[in-house]
Amino acid sequence: MDGVKNIVKERLQLHGIKPSLQRMAVMEYLMTHRTHPTADMIFTDLYPSIPTLSKATVYNTLNLLVERGVVRMITIEEKNARFDACMDPHIHFRCRECGAILDVDVEAHWIPNMPEGVIVDMSETYCIGSCAKCNSLREN
Ligand SMILES: [Zn+2]
Ligand SMILES: [Zn+2]
């Protein structure tokens, strides 16, 4: 077992998730692809190497991972939920033109003046515009 697989397995077990082959594959995919993929993208990429994988398994696995706080779901796109295994504080930028979703670093604990007595356990901030690649294509 290589290093990545060990980390994936530990991360699942730490959150009380039984590391089945399919769950391991979905988690490893998210940890090695920082593209914020949709469930369909994950399925399409994994299916050739795991023919026993079904779309339902990918959806169920993602739900479980989000529920247990191993992965976060990003609703930056109207049509599709996107998934992210990076739980460090960061926000997301979506390019309106090519659809790329990029990570944006932020200071931790930057939630401003919440009303008294409120406890925040989830916050998502989205920035939308055009990415550097699309901008440079337009200039040429
Ligand atoms: Zn772009
Ligand atoms: Zn991200």
Average pLDDT value for residue range 44-63: 96
Output the pLDDT for position 119: 85
Q: Which residues have C-beta under 5 Å from ligand 2, the single-atom ion?
A: 84, 103
Q: What sign does the CA torsion over 48, 35, 61, 88 have?
A: positive
Take residue 61 and report the two structure tokens written for it.
Answer: 């696995």
Question: Does the structure show a pLDDT above 70 at 45?
Answer: yes
Ligand nearest to the CA of 133: 1
Ligand 2 centre distance from Cα of residue 18 (Å): 25
The model's pTM? 0.85
Ligand 1 centre distance from Cα of residue 104 (Å): 15
